[in-house]
Amino acid sequence: MNDQFMTNLRTLRTERPPGKWKVKLDQLKNFIREYVHENAALCDEIADVQEQIIMRTEERKFLLRKLCAFEPETEKAVEALSKRSAQNNNNNNNSNNNNTSSSTSTANIKRNKRKNLPSQNSKKMLKSKKPPLKMKKRFFQQILLDSMGRPIFPIELGNLTVHSLGEVVSDKSEFHSEDVIYPVGYVSTRIYGSLKDPTIKCIYTCTISEANGLPRFQIASDDSENPIVGGSADVCHSLLLQKINDCLSFNVVSTRPRGNDFFGLSHPTVLNLIQTSPGTRKCSNYKWSKFEVSKTDDKVVDDADACLNFNLLQRSIDFCKYKMAPDILPRPPDDLLETKNYF
């Protein structure tokens, strides 16, 4: 009897329809799942839009500089507008500072009268004193020096070779940023895919010069007569990557620029040499980094990015070819299984 009762109870449980709370719970789970996927898609779209905004702003600056170079009147108008905006910002800051100072002074007077305490300015000065920021600690590779302690060129750093460090322009803020300095006369070369056939190695010469008081960046290949010129290293690098994609007729590499890395300006060894050059201390916007000699004597490891490394570019090309024609290659080679992480 007990066994029959238990079997009947089990059948009733299995045949019982789900309650309304169970149905609501399943609906909530489905809604959450859909919202998570929608949020991920929106995040990807936002990232793409931000990349496009950065590229368009750099292109706009480059075109404006070109226009100023050909039309002096436009250059004068741009300078006048920049001066007016700077004066307006200074006036607004001064008015805000005066208002805040007057309000804080009246408040301090009232507090001092009520509590018979000394002014709060001394306490504010003590609070405003923050500990000095620690400089970034980075490691660089030892290089050969001559008897005078100067570097011996060329300096080979993997696929990157530095031929000249140039001269630091310290009196113009356009020739340096917080992380990188753009010396005039800087020359470096890098091995990368050719614009005519990206599967073939090509040597690109990266140079920095001065034009109309602004830095001029150039990337020239040894198999092409038309160099890539831009107002920043990112603009030149982005145009180079776009030309490689156009040559292959599909997006084999991301066009998100890494111009400072392609030129070698952000390499720790190169940046340490530029930082020790005369005139660097006068660069107001540049933040100094603390460098130490690398204790390991290993060789320089190239950056694992298809937009900088020739070998990873070839892996990306092979992987894209496999994706475009899976019938010809039913299974990708073993060395292409992880290629998707590089582009």
Residue range 271-291, pLDDT digits in tens: 999 998 988 989 988 988 888
At residue 146, the pLDDT reads 86
- CATH at 155: 3.30.160.360
In a domain, 334, yes or no: no
- Average pLDDT of the segment spanning 251-259: 90
Nearest Cα neighbor of 306 from 317, 296, 292, 295 is 317
Q: How many domains does the chain have?
A: 2
Residue 218, helix vs strand vs coil? strand
- Say if residue 144 is in the same domain as residue 79: no
Q: Which two tokens stand for residue 174?
A: 């356009």
Q: 149 — phi, psi (to 5°)? A: 85, 15
Tell whether 287 is covered by a domain.
Answer: yes
- Average pLDDT (111-137) is 50
Q: Which of 2-6, 27-31, 183-187, 316-320 has the highest mean pLDDT?
A: 183-187
E strand segments, the chain? 136-140, 155-157, 160-164, 187-193, 201-211, 214-221, 228-230, 289-293
Q: Is the pLDDT of residue 259 over 90?
A: yes
Residue 232 structural domain: 138-294
Residue 341's pLDDT band, with cuts at 50, 70 and 90, is very low
In this structure, the number of other CB atoms found within 10 A of the CB of residue 159 comes to 19
Q: How many Cα atoms occupy the beta-carbon half-sphere of 253 within 13 Å?
A: 33
Is pLDDT above 70 for 93? no
Q: Please report the pLDDT score of residue 223 as a whole number.
A: 87
Residue 42 shares a structural domain with residue 157? no
Q: Is the domain of 73 the same as that of 145? A: no
Q: Is the dihedral of CA 301, 306, 323, 35 positive or negative?
A: positive
169 and 282 belong to one structural domain: yes
Residues 162 and 45 in one domain: no
pLDDT digit string (tens) for 62-90? 777 777 777 777 777 777 777 777 677 66
Last residue of a domain, one of 294, 311, 334: 294
Of the chain, the percentage scoring pLDDT greater than 70 comes to 73
Greater model confidence, 303 or 176: 176
Domain assignment of residue 317, yes or no: no
Mean pLDDT score, 326-333: 54
Q: Is the pLDDT of residue 301 over 90?
A: no
> Please, which pLDDT band fits residue 49 given cuts at 50, 70 and 90?
confident
164 shares its domain with 284: yes
Q: Is the pLDDT of residue 126 over 50?
A: no
Q: Are residues 272 and 198 in the same domain?
A: yes
Please give the pLDDT value at position 55.
80
Contact (CB, 8 A) for 153 and 162: yes
Which of 6-15, 225-234, 312-321 has the largest mean confidence?
225-234
Residue 113 lies in a domain: no
Q: By the 8 A CB rule, do 159 and 191 touch?
A: yes
The partner residues of 138 in beta bridges, in order of sequence, read 291
Average pLDDT over every residue of 130-135: 50
Is the distance from CB of 228 to CB of 220 less than 8 angstroms?
yes
Per-residue pLDDT at 342: 42
Q: Are 304 and 267 in contact (CB under 8 A)?
A: no
Q: Looking at 84, 100, 121, which one is the last position of a domain?
A: 84
- Residue 247: exposure state from Cβ atoms within 10 A (0-12, 13-18, ≥19): middle
pTM of the predicted protein model:
0.58
pLDDT at residue 337 in the model: 46
Q: Residues 61, 143: one domain?
A: no
215 lies in the same domain as 152: yes
Rounded to whole angstroms, the Cα distance separating 290 from 280 reads 14
pLDDT of residue 153: 93
Q: Is 188 helix (H, G, I), strand (E, B) or coil?
A: strand
On whether residue 231 sits in a domain, the answer given is: yes
Rounded CA gap, 222 and 91, in Å?
Answer: 52
Q: Would the pLDDT of 183 be above 80?
A: yes
Q: Are residues 148 and 289 in the same domain?
A: yes
The whole-number pLDDT of residue 62 equals 76
Report which residue type is found at 204. Y
Quick one: 46 and 162 in the same domain?
no
Identify the weakest region by mean pLDDT among 122-131, 143-152, 167-176, 294-303.
122-131
150 in a domain, yes or no? yes
Cis peptide leading into 268, omega within 30 of 0?
no
Q: What are phi and psi of 257, to 5 degrees?
A: -75, 150
Q: Amino acid letter at 259?
A: G
Query: Do residues 323 and 300 touch, judged by C-beta distance below 8 A?
Result: no
The answer to whether position 335 is within a domain reads no
The alpha-carbon radius of gyration of the chain (Å, integer) is: 30
User: Which pLDDT belongs to residue 339?
Assistant: 45
Do 76 and 142 reside in the same domain of the chain?
A: no
In a domain, 207, yes or no: yes
Beta strands in 141-236 (DSSP E): 155-157, 160-164, 187-193, 201-211, 214-221, 228-230
Q: pLDDT: is 224 or 119 the higher one? A: 224
Determine the 3-state secondary structure of 300 from DSSP: coil
